[in-house]
């Protein structure tokens, strides 16, 4: 595996820069832009052959335009970032469905806290709020309220890893 983040010139495709993490077993998966810090957050997936190294691997990296930094001081969350979104006040949240957690990070790549959320998957943010889907429904922050989601037939709505908020026309 040779995962890297590459910046290309949109006019001619010329490579403007390329950045790699120190750990060659980390796959760069999903990107989110934080307009507050002007940083790109990246959800990672570990592909280590050793199970313990994979379990403890970082699930987040930050790129500030100059440097790509894997998360610092993060507890073990099974090495799998399912989705990522920028938080309205700055920083990022990564869903960790294999650890039943939402991991919060600053734009400097420092881990700040985990929130329990069973089978956390899709994330989205808009107008000062952010949402996380999971086995129990959709959780909305900053209120911390859980909203149950179902289809018309009363069956559970199964939500995949990714969401986007679309502006209304």
pTM for this entry? 0.87
Place of tokens 């990107």: 31
Give me the residues of the chain with pLDDT under 70, please. Answer: 143-169
In degrees and rounded to multiples of 5, residue 93 shows phi and psi of -125, 135
Residues 6+ apart with CB under 8 A from 44: 21, 26, 27, 28, 29, 57, 58, 59, 60, 61, 70, 79, 81
Closest CA to 103 of 125, 79, 67: 79
Q: What is the pLDDT of residue 148?
A: 47
State percent of the chain over pLDDT 90. Answer: 67
Residue ranges per domain, the chain? 28-147
Structural domain 28-147, CATH architecture: 6 Propeller (2.120)
Q: Which helix (H) or strand (E) holds 56?
A: helix 51-56
Tens-place pLDDT, residues 126-163? 888 888 888 877 878 876 555 544 444 555 555 566 66
């Amino acid at each position: 595996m040779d995962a890297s983040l590459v910046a290309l010139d949109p006019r001619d495709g010329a490579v403007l820069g390329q950045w790699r993490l120190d750990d060659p077993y980390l796959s760069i998966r999903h990107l989110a832009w934080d307009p507050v810090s002007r940083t790109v957050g990246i959800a990672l997936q570990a592909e280590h052959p050793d199970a313990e190294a994979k379990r403890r691997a970082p699930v987040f990296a930050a790129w500030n335009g100059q440097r790509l930094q894997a998360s610092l001081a993060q507890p073990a969350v099974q090495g799998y970032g399912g989705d990522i979104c920028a938080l309205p006040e700055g920083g990022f949240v990564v869903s960790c469905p294999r650890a039943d957690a939402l991991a919060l990070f600053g734009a400097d790549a420092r881990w700040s806290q985990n929130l329990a959320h069973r089978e956390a998957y899709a994330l989205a943010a808009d107008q000062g709020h952010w949402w996380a889907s999971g086995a129990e429904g959709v959780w909305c922050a900053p209120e911390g309220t859980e909203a149950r989601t179902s289809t018309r037939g009363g069956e559970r709505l199964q939500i995949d890893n990714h969401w986007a908020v679309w502006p209304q026309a």
